[in-house]
Structure 1
Amino acid sequence: MATVQLHTIQHCFCVALLFLLQLSSLQFASLGYNVPDKYFINCGSDNSVTESGKLYVGESTPEAGFSSSNTERNQSSVPSPLYQTARIFRRESWYKFNIDTNGTYLVRLHFFPFTSPSNLSSARFNVSVPGFWLLQNTNGRNDSNNNSALVKEFFMEISTPSIKITFRPLESSFAFVNAIELFVLPLHLISDNNVRRFTPTRGTSSYSGGLYSRVLETKHRLNVGGQTMKDILLRNWIPDDIYLIYPENAKNRSPYQGQIVPRVGDDSDGPNAASYTAPSDVYGTAKETKNISTSAIDFGLFNITWALPVDNNTDHLLRLHFCDYVSSDVGLTLFELSIYDAHVKQLNNDPKVSNELPAPYYYDFVLNSDNSGHIKVSLTPNETADIKDAFLNGLEIMKLIESSNSVPPDLDSEYNRLPVLLGSVLGGVVLVSVVVVLGFLWRFKMNKEKSNENSHRLPILDNGGRSSHGRLTDTTNRGSPLPNLNLELKIPLVDLQLATKNFHASQLIGKGGFGNVYKGVLENGMTVAVKRSQPGSGQGLPEFQTEIMVLSKIRHKHLVSLIGYCDEKFEMILVYEYMEKGTLRDHLYNTKLPSLSWKVRLQICIDSARGLHYLHKGAAGGIIHRDVKSTNILLDENHVAKVADFGLSRSGPPDTQPHVTTGVKGTFGYLDPEYFRSQQLTEKSDVYSFGVVLLEVLCARAAIDPSLPTDQINLAEWGLLCKSKGTLQEIIDPSITEQIDQNSLRRFSETIEKCLQEDGCDRPTMGDVLWDLEYALQLQKGANAIQREPYEDSSSNVSASLQLPNVRRLPSLSTLSEADDTIVRGEESDSVVDSVFSQLKIDDAR
């Protein structure tokens, strides 16, 4: 059981110095703002290091004991001296900081899992402050760039004498941290007084939610039109290019040559910017419209649009920064702001903004993100303006974290302060005694709370240990019946607890939008993947119901199969067949696994195309996957590929309609641009995404890689450019260049090019893609039946000389009515399966 770990970072000051500090804490506007020196902590070390101009002091002092924690030192190169050491926590532990001045504070946590004996990359832990979870089930890794540290940034109001940041290792794991920053912010950096609530249906209204009744987590901070930089608050601003939806509509405005300064004092409360709101370099660069035409403006067809990934159905603070440093006078350049394609307001004519150009200003909006996984911001020139242009200088998005009753409460504040007071007066012996006593009290309290939590989380088992009472049953009893619910697929919770060792951390194999995924072994010896939902996962009861009903009616050997489900009490669990080799992406890049041969890659693409073709043509009414990507293609022990993760899937359009109109959902880098623009979903959207996957297979690199030069960031755009220039050979994965037959490569690259066409009507069907891939494999094998020159046009008649599988339209499964539990299979379905398998179609599932 975890014992109390107390780390108090404390400094003694003379009376005169205390007086000066108290005076400076008033933050007079005339004095400006300087970042305080405390607290900047180099964790796990007693040495100080300098990073970004700040001194991070070593944490180890005689008064600050970590009796059950230890230090790890780096055994490989790291990007910064700050990441040479880390503090390891094997039990629940915390840092406690004394607070001299009430106000808004910034907390930064630095994580870098360098090479060490403890294998820091295997850590799993939670981080909290009183009343709020800052991080849950984190591993401290920067998944977007393995060579960079993960820096998590939070804003919170602190009005107590001290604050504790607590690290809670998950079961059988540990926690770590490399560095911590905690310092008070300027008075009006973020204020409720200048924020508006926005909803797409109602527009803007006054906001009374109270930003600092929550904790704000930084998700994005963009220097629009500029380069990566740090500001006075050590905030990192990055370029915006990878988030542009219509890059052809935008260009970087020439940087301002002078110094942009705020026109009001540093006590500004918006919309005018203060010196700390954003740096001069952010306001001195911008994105603006490019190749603009009056007719396009008149019809509302021209805009600059950014889409930034965020959590679903969560409140976010959106801050937009503007500075007109080009216009000669105020009001000449007017443009419109839209969020989620809904008009918000006209910009660049606010009377509250200084009329002396260039004048930096900003707007704050609180909005609830939709199910698309993105916040979309658009700027459109005003057709009546003297200067028809639109621009944006900077953009910030912060997630609003709600308080949670599941965070174990701190002991009474007086008790928290007691060890420090006694330690100062009576010495180390008394301090140790108090800590031990408080430890026993805390342990007793935690045991009681964990017991209560477990009794709430898990159902009370009956009927010989098997509970049948669950959410689906509750829903049905309340008058929302679920016809055609396959009860034979229901698995008791106790069986899944036994299969996964009670969801032990050692069984954790992944985490997705629905929740954690565990490896398990059922009573009959079958190895399965158990996907367990968790609060805030973004998927709820309706989606859970739909998955079960639809998945139980469809099966195919190239679609990952549903084995069963559990819906007891507060649990929502889906059980799938276990795929031994993991995701396709795991075998392509950033991996230590052996490189896949070209023939194996071709076969994986063929398997995946078969699964998608079956979805489009073999399932009832047709199903559009909507999230085709390399992480959603799984491999079994023989590298047989199966398409997985149908949480965004949607029924295809009826025969009388060419498309389904729906909100945009998917993953950046794979999204069909036509679907994104029109919100009209067709099977060809999957074809586009699959084309990106084919490029990944060929080039062994990510669909989006921000570390590359601008023209190479987006793989689809870069691949098409190389194909048109005849340089595609140069970007192929070096490990397979010697293996690929040139005819096979030509057919494969032609298939990619067709899949990635801008207009969906120009793309092939998935059946055509499957045929082309089969043909590329036959060319690779050097089929003797094909008599043609190496670069003969492979699109001409070949059907007579090449024997390929029959990929004609499969029989319709429209007979799958809601009253029929029969498993209906197409011609390509796997007939040798003794369990009920399925795959899903979900309408607006996330």
Structure 2
Amino acid sequence: MDTTGTHIASGAIFFLLLLCLSSLSIADVIYSPVELFSINCGSNSSLSTRDGRNWTADIKFLSENKDSVAAPALTPSTLEGPYTDARFSHSQFTYSFSVSTGPKFIRLFYSTSYQNFHRSKAYFSVKAGPYTLLQYFNASLNADADDDPDNFLFREYCINLRDGERLNISFIPSTEDSYAFINGIEIVSMPPFLYYTHPDDDITGWPQPVGLNTNPFPIENNYAMETKYRLRVGDQQIPASQDTGMLRSWDVDNKYVTTQSVLSLDIESGIKLRFTKTPNYTAPDTVYRSLRNMGSNGTVNMGFNLTWQLPVDSGFTYLLRLHFCQLDPRIENPGDLSFFIFVQDQLVEDWADVLGWSDKQKGVPVVRQYAVVIPGNQQERLNLSLKMHPNPQSLAKDAQINAIELFKINDPTGNLAGPNPDPPLPQSPKRVPLESSNKKSHGTTMRTLAAIAGSVSGVLLLSFIAILIKRRKNVTVNEKGTSRDNGSLFVPTGLCRHFSIKEMRTATNNFDEVFVGGFGNVYKGHIDNGSTTVAIKRLKQGSRQGIREFKNEIEMLSQLRHPNIVSLIGYCYESNEMILVYEFMDCGNLRDHLYDTDNPSLSWKHRLQTCIGVARGLDYLHTGVKQVIIHRDVKSANILLDEKWEAKVSDFGLARIGGPMGISMMTTRVNTEVKGSIGYLDPEYYKRNILTEKSDVYSFGVMLLEVLSGRHPLLHWEEKQRMSLANWAKHCYEKGTLSEIVDSELKGQIKPQCLNKFSEVALSCLLEDGTQRPSMKDIVGVLEFVLQFQDSAVNYEDSSSHSTVPLSDCSENTGSSMTSDGDRSNGRMESFVLIPDDVFSETKNPKGR
């Protein structure tokens, strides 16, 4: 079960209007499991944890224990639970439990670092009765793929025991020199028909078939399932101790949402939840007190879907459970809010109406279930997509959901195992099976947020499969072992170097020190015999999601040359690795000098100079190349600063090419799926799905406000008026209280006239009509003018009197002042002339360039 979460995209600015607070309703009955075994494997003593669990020693449950040993973890875990000790063996060992009839949770807990047991040799299978839970499983590869700092892994399964059966769980090494191990086992009884279909239910209560499966699909008690995702909408995980009695953990869904959306948290509408459609142990009350929606607030959002992408193993059927509860005070009657639901681009609900499902009663949780076939050979990972879209006939144009659960169902052989993530090295241990089986082998610090929208219309799954098959046929391997999609990357000769994976390992000392992370991981490296310091960005191994962005960035950046565009030195595309090599930027990114950082604050003058550099870089993209390049992800985190504090635009993974230079902006627009980052997305872009360079201008305007205020573009915990930085700035500008948004670190540094003009240009970038926004060329001129006037201000307070960063902090080789275009920034103006009305040429003439 995936347990990591990263903050992800929510771009629309709207929270539900809620009534006064009231206390949470608590389910009247908490489910009490018939059995609860929590086993501390490899330990002779019991362990009590703050969540109420009592982890007992494992020795009395071992029924088969040939040469097994206990060992302590190499590094003590920071997590509570059975992670300090483990049971190891190079031979099969088995735990046996006497349990009652009925469905059970089986949970496996792993911590992966031990002194006398090398991580690379931990290949093993796990069987529970007739079911194979894991096969040729390597815990370290999976922990590394999850980027878990504690090397912690957790897996959860559901199985149903028949009368008189004992539950035997066996751990079987997969090769002659490998070993099996386990840190903790938990067995918890569950209600008989929580996930399994009641035999008395009619066909309308069965999971609805999706995809290739066209037959009714009850979840019968001879199925075993693996919990792949249990996701709630919210700002934090619901821990096991706060579940309804079954010790389930509810992760947040942020990592998997790929479109702009809104979180409405802690919904308190004075309505007590009533569990009349589903039992009160189905999910904690908290799950139904927060929701994710599209943030429409009455506006028709017909240009994008609310989308989740859930990586899954191919070759299996999945049970998808969607949780809903209507608490919106604006929704009074069935049909007021209805929406479409697509699963794998197939329409499964054309009139999803939560209030209708709950018999016109608010505060009644409901669950919809679907059986989804993901075809394949069990050796690939694909995305299972869930998309929601407003029904145009609905009074409120919106879609909403509270939680998602997804379970993998065993194949006809009883197998639940999928592939391991790809190992860091191409070779794998020699496999000598110790068990007879014909089953398949069992097989992210830069912040990057992508907002991806899908089409409203459903796409036939068979077409989707055909495309996948075709793509796989187009993958070839050259003689050097370099995987290439569609043959090769297009990289102009002489502009970009190709590095081998061996060179990358040498440059980074085998990737031993992460510099920053996000896209995958970024490392500080040294090439050319250590003479050149570089930044090496390594995509998470085994990921297929970023191949398009990877290729796009290489093909785009290798052809761009500008002092305010980051330089791509080379790339590595080999042995399932996708790596980019850039010039090293000593002073990091702009965001890390504005907020949420221990770095000294940048002075106002330095901030102005940085904004001018960014504007020049974007102007080059829009007007200085043969075809317009639209960056699509302009934000402070993507602005890097070199040792001389020169700003450089980076991260071109989402960039798109528009039309040729010299034609009007309105004819260079691009129809494309919506991508971008939270708080920076051009509303005209995500509402109409039409992209122009003016979308970059909008994002740049948000960045200008970031620079001025030293705060995030969106703060969900702020009062509604201040939640959106753009909206707050507009409000303050109209009231004449702009000083309210200024970063406290800049107190006394900004001349009032400069503040006004800087704010004017920022807000002009945020105009709703993209054609009315200025061009980047015009913005450069205005910002240079503001900087010159700031330099000329007699009352300008020198930045040295503030806690601002000295220019020598990031490099021992420079102590010089940062300037823009020679000594222009040091020039003095004898008088100040207001910016002329026609400075925004494109505002006056939208078609002019």
Same fold (TM over 0.5): yes
Q: Describe how 1:137-152 pairs up with structure 2 within 5 A.
A: 137-138=145-146, 140=148
The alignment's TM-score, normalised by the length of structure 2, stands at 0.60
- Structure 1 682/280 Cα, relative in aligned 2: closer, same or farther at 3 Å? same
Report if aligned partners of 2:231, 2:253 keep a CA contact under 8 Å in 1.
no
Match of 1:607 among 600, 606, 613: 613
Partner residue of 1:118?
Answer: none
1:675 counterpart SS class: helix
**In 2, Cα distance between the equivalents of 1:162 and 1:43?**
15
Q: More deviation in 96-105 or 569-578?
A: 96-105
> Does 2:746 match 1:736?
yes
Contact 2:354/2:366 (8 A) holds in 1: no
Partner amino acid for 1:607? Answer: G
CA offsets 1:701-749 (integer angstroms, 9 cap, x no match): 3334445455544433344444444444334332222333333222222
2:709 aligned partner: 699
Return the match for 2:482 from 453, 470, 480. Answer: 470
1:280-291 to structure 2, matched below 5 A, reads none
Pair 1:337 & 2:325 matched: no
Alignment partner of 1:649 is 2:655: yes
The 1:743–1:188 alpha-carbon spacing in structure 2 relative to 1, beyond 3 Å, is farther
Q: Which residue of 1 aligns with 2:519?
A: 513
Letter in 2 for 1:156: Y
User: Corresponding residue for 1:221?
Assistant: 232
Structure-1 residue corresponding to 2:38: 39
- Secondary structure in structure 2 of the residue aligned to 1:554: coil
1:424-470 Cα shifts (integer Å, max 9, x gaps)? xxxxxxxxxxxxxxxxxxxxxxxxxxxxxxxxxxx99xxxxxx8663
Distance in 2, matches of 1:732 and 1:47, equals 56
Shift of the 72–491 alpha-carbon distance from structure 1 to 2, 3 Å rule, reads closer
Question: Which residue of 1 is the match for residue 403 of structure 2?
Answer: 395
Q: Please tell me whether residue 495 in structure 1 is matched to residue 503 in structure 2.
A: yes
Whether the 8 Å CA contact 1:583–1:630 is kept in 2: the answer is yes
**2:419 pairs with 404, 421, 434, which one?**
404
State which of 520, 528, 532 in structure 2 corresponds to 1:522: 528
Residue identity in the other structure for 1:566: C
Q: How many angstroms apart in 2 are the aligned matches of 1:489 and 1:288? A: 45
SS class of match (2:391)? strand
| Shift in Å, 1:360 | 3.8
Counterpart in 1 of 2:587? 581
- 8 Å Cα contact 2:523/2:536 also seen in 1: yes
* CA offsets 1:467-518 (integer angstroms, 9 cap, x no match): 866345x955xxx8959555873334443333223xx232432344366645
Task: State whether residues 490 and 566 of structure 1, in contact with CA within 8 Å, keep that contact through their aligned partners in structure 2.
Answer: yes
C-alpha separation in 1, matches of 2:757 and 2:34: 59
Distance in 1, Cα, partners of 2:293 & 2:540: 42
Q: Which amino acid aligns with 2:38?
A: Y
Q: Which letter maps to 2:339?
A: E
Structure 1 509/287 Cα, relative in aligned 2: closer, same or farther at 3 Å? closer
Contact kept in structure 2, 1:106 and 1:181, CA below 8 Å: yes
Give distance in 2, aligned partners of 1:108 and 1:59: 15
User: What secondary structure does 1:506 align onto?
Assistant: coil
Deviation at 1:647, TM superposition (A): 0.8
Q: Any idea what SS the aligned residue of 1:622 has?
A: strand
In the alignment, which of 543, 550, 561 is matched to residue 555 of structure 1?
561
- Tell me which residue corresponds to 1:632: 638
SS of 2:659's partner is: coil
8 Å Cα contact 2:42/2:85 also seen in 1 = no
How many residue pairs align between the two structures?
655
SS of 2:744 mapped into structure 1: coil
Partner Cα distance (2:617, 2:305) in 1: 33
Tell me how far apart the structure 2 counterparts of residues 349 and 207 of structure 1 sit (CA, whole Å): 23
Query: C-alpha displacement at 1:648, in angstroms?
Result: 0.9
Q: Work out the CA distance in 1 between the residues paired with 2:778 and 2:712.
A: 25
In structure 1, the residue corresponding to 2:637 is in which secondary structure?
helix
1:262 to 264, 271, 276: 276
Match of 2:690 among 680, 685, 692: 680
Deviation at 1:103, TM superposition (A): 4.9
CA contact (8 A) 1:255 1:286 kept: no
2:389 to 378, 386, 391: 378
**For 2:295 and 2:578, how far apart are their aligned partners in 1?**
49
Q: CA deviation at 1:150?
A: 12
1:284, distance to aligned residue in structure 2 (A): 7.8
In 1, the alpha carbon distance for the partners of 2:735 and 2:185 equals 49
Match of 1:77 in 2: none
Q: Report SS of the residue matched to 1:758.
A: coil
Gaps of 5+ in 2: 1-28, 63-67, 112-121, 127-133, 161-166, 174-181, 198-204, 375-380, 409-415, 423-428, 437-476, 795-827, 841-845
SS of the residue aligned with 1:778?
helix
Q: 1:162 aligns with which of 164, 169, 174?
A: 169
Q: Any idea what the Cα deviations from partners look like across 1:133-180, whole Å, max 9, x if unmatched?
A: 654355547xxxxxxx999976434687337799xxxxxxxxx99x99
Residue pair 2:561, 2:567 contacting (<8 A) in 1 also:
yes
What percentage of residue pairs aligned between the two structures are identical? 30
Distance 1:312 1:782, change over 3 A: farther
Structure 1 pair 282–246 and aligned structure 2 pair: CA distance change class (3 A)? closer
Provide, for residues 32-78 of structure 1, a one-character-per-residue CA deviation record: whole Å limited to 9, x for no partner: 654964439899998966646x346598999998645367598xxxx
1:690 aligned partner: 700
Distance 1:485 1:727 in 2: 55
Deviation at 1:762, TM superposition (A): 3.0
1:209 Cα deviation (Å)? 13
Moved more, 488-497 or 283-292: 283-292
Question: How far has the Cα of 1:761 moved from its partner?
Answer: 2.4
8 Å Cα contact 1:527/1:577 also seen in 2: yes
Q: Provide structure 1 residue ranges, at least 5 long, that are not aligned to the other structure.
A: 1-29, 75-81, 112-125, 142-148, 167-175, 264-272, 415-458, 461-466, 800-808, 813-846
Check whether the contact 1:624–1:650 (CA below 8 A) recurs between aligned residues: yes
Find the aligned partners of 1:108 and 1:777 in 2 and give their Cα distance: 60
- 1:600-658 deviations in whole A, cap 9, x for unaligned? 22222221221111111112211011112222111212222211111111001353724
Change (3 A) 1:663 1:736: same
CA distance in 1, matches of 2:301, 2:548: 37
Q: 1:396: Cα distance to partner?
A: 2.3
Name the SS for the 1:136 alignment partner. Answer: helix
**SS of 1:505 mapped into structure 2:** coil
Q: Summarize the Cα distance change of 1:666–1:195 in structure 2 as closer, same or farther, 3 Å threshold.
A: farther
**Aligned residue identity for 1:335:** S
For the residue of structure 2 that corresponds to 1:582, the secondary structure is: coil
Q: Distance in 1 between matches of 2:47 and 2:420?
A: 37
Contact 2:69 / 2:89 at 8 angstroms: preserved in 1?
A: no
> Contact 1:652–1:659 at 8 Å: present in 2 too?
yes
Q: Distance in 2 between matches of 1:713 and 1:381?
A: 29
Residues 71 and 85, structure 1, Cα contact 8 Å, conserved in 2: no
- Classify the secondary structure of the residue corresponding to 1:767: helix
* Contact 2:234 2:265 survives alignment (8 Å): no
Taking a change above 3 Å as real, the CA distance of residues 587 and 66 of structure 1, as seen in their structure-2 partners, is: farther
For 2:105, the aligned partner's letter is Y
Alpha carbons of 1:598 and 1:330: their partners in 2 closer, same or farther (altered >3 Å)?
closer
Displacement of 1:525 in angstroms is 1.5
Offset at residue 778 of structure 1 (A): 2.0
RMSD value over aligned CA atoms?
6.1
In structure 1, give the amino acid aligned to 2:625. Answer: A
Offset, 1:260 = 0.7
Contact 1:108 1:151 in 2 (8 A): no
Q: Secondary structure at the match of 1:565?
A: strand
TM-score of the superposed pair, with normalisation by structure 1:
0.61
Task: Give the 3 Å change call, closer, same or farther, for CA 794–533 of structure 1 in structure 2.
Answer: same
| 1:327–1:692 distance in 2 versus 1, CA, 3 Å | closer
Q: Does residue 776 of the first structure (1) align with residue 775 of the second (2)?
A: no
CA contact (8 A) 1:333 1:348 kept: no
Which one of the candidate residues 308, 319, 322 is aligned to 1:320? 322
